[in-house]
Amino acid sequence: MWLSVLNQIQREALLGLAHNVIVSDGLLDPNEEGMLDEFKREMELGSTIEVEYLELSGIERTFDSRRSRVIAVLNLLRLSYADGAFEIEEECLLKEISRSFELSEAEFLLLDNWVRRYIALEDEARALMRG
């Protein structure tokens, strides 16, 4: 969502952050891999781009605007729900990223709530398409 707004450095960094989220719970789910591929397509990054762990130190300089930070957190939250469970390790990592981005706990909870409602609407739309 809104990943095309990010610049090239932010796009590559987001993939690294996504990798961090995916491996944080020690499980690799096919839905997470699919969403990572979806991110690459939306950001117009080749499917062969290597996705590696990204050090969080200095991440706030890469995502230097509130808009880019919110886009990153929304997408990382969405990714964390891709396997059907928001694990404590994922939550802790996303809260750490949010703190780096100077987002308050209340803002994090608002973003999390928005993502959960968005996912519910996507599920509802899929059900409508099935008939």
Contact assessment for residue 35 and residue 82, using Cβ atoms and an 8 Å cutoff: yes
Q: Which residue has the tokens 């509802």?
A: 124
pLDDT score at 60: 97
pLDDT score at 75: 97
Q: In whole angstroms, how far apart are CA 84 and each of 30, 69, 129?
A: 11, 24, 21
pLDDT digit string, tens, across residues 69-104: 999 999 999 999 998 888 899 999 999 999 999 999
For residue 19, how far is the Cα from the chain centroid? Answer: 9
Residue of 79, 85, 84, 73 whose CA lies nearest to 111: 73
Q: Which residues of the chain have pLDDT under 70?
A: none
pLDDT score at 86: 87
Residues 6+ apart with CB under 8 A from 13: 54, 59, 62, 63
| Alpha-carbon span 67 to 81, nearest angstrom | 22
pLDDT score at 53: 87
Q: 80 is written with which tokens? A: 């964390």
Q: What's the pTM?
A: 0.92
pLDDT score at 90: 93
User: Domains along the chain?
Assistant: 3-130 (1.10.3680)
